[in-house]
Amino acid sequence: MKPEQQLWAAVPLVAMAGCVDAIGWLQLDEMFIGIITGNSTLLGVAVAGADWRRAGALAGLVGMFALGAFLGAWIGVKAQRWRIPAVLTTVAALYAIGAFLPFDGLVPPALFVLVPAMGMVNTALPAAGGITFLTGTLVRSMQFLVGGLAGELPPGTWLPHFCAWIGVVCGACLGATLEMLAGSHALLLPALGLATGAVLTARHIQRTG
């Protein structure tokens, strides 16, 4: 898949990541599953307030996210041209498992599959620069918009980045709505979405050789 195609392909992935993060935020004690910038800030606040229990939980989330990114990159190297369907299939399976694991307790079992899955999904489309890094995505969209207006970049270069930001907002809205209706079982929808994406990508690879 070409880099420009990966940028557009990232939009639905970002929306599904926003959906999962919203579900996780509501199920947990206001901690993010996939937005590590937010968790890092919360970690600093917890340390400043000597809330060591919360600081430990947040540090664990960051570590599990990093582990997921490592495993996703490893899968990508091994799968080569099948990288995208391989990573998406793995993440979809982890989302589905997480839908049936408890979110309560000192260390909720669901975190051990969902947080690594969110780290892993960021490795599916290398040219997109990550799926859950929305601050940089919004900044790039404005930089590319200015470049287009100045005639330095082709018109529309900014659009996939901005659509990715819109996607996470819409995905979070959907996730929050589904969580109110179905609780953690709402994770099955993004799992199904990623599985569908994996199948479509695999068929595209087969057609193009």
Integer-rounded Cα Rg, in Å, for the chain is 17
pLDDT tens, residue by residue, 96-118: 999 999 998 777 899 999 999 99
Q: Residue 54 pLDDT more than 80?
A: yes
Tokens 């695999």 correspond to 202
Query: Which range is least confidently modeled, 6-10, 59-63, 134-138, 140-144?
Result: 134-138
Specify the pLDDT at position 203: 94
Number of domains in the chain: 1
Neighbours of 66 (CB within 10 A): 14
Can you give the CATH number for the domain in which 88 is found?
1.20.1250
Question: Considering the chain, what percentage of its residues have pLDDT values greater than 90?
Answer: 66
Specify the pLDDT at position 5: 82
In the 3-class helix/strand/coil scheme, how is the chain assigned residue by residue? CCHHHHHHHHHHHHHHHHHHHHHHHHHCCCCCCCCHHHHHHHHHHHHHCCCHHHHHHHHHHHHHHHHHHHHHHHHHHHHHHHHHHHHHHHHHHHHHHHCCCCCCCCCCCCHHHHHHHHHHHCCCCHHHCCCCCHHHHHHHHHHHHHHHHCCCCCCCCCHHHHHHHHHHHHHHHHHHHHHHHHHHHHHHHHHHHHHHHHHHHHHHHHHHC
- Residue 173 and residue 23 in contact, taking contact as beta carbons nearer than 8 Å: no
pLDDT tens, residue by residue, 158-187: 999 899 999 999 999 999 999 999 999 999
CA dist 153 and 174 (Å) reads 34
The stretch 131-143 carries a mean pLDDT of: 85
CA dist 164 and 33 (Å) reads 18
* Predicted TM-score of the model (pTM): 0.90
Specify the pLDDT at position 209: 67
121 is in which domain, residue-wise?
A: 3-208
Q: Residue 130 pLDDT more than 80?
A: no
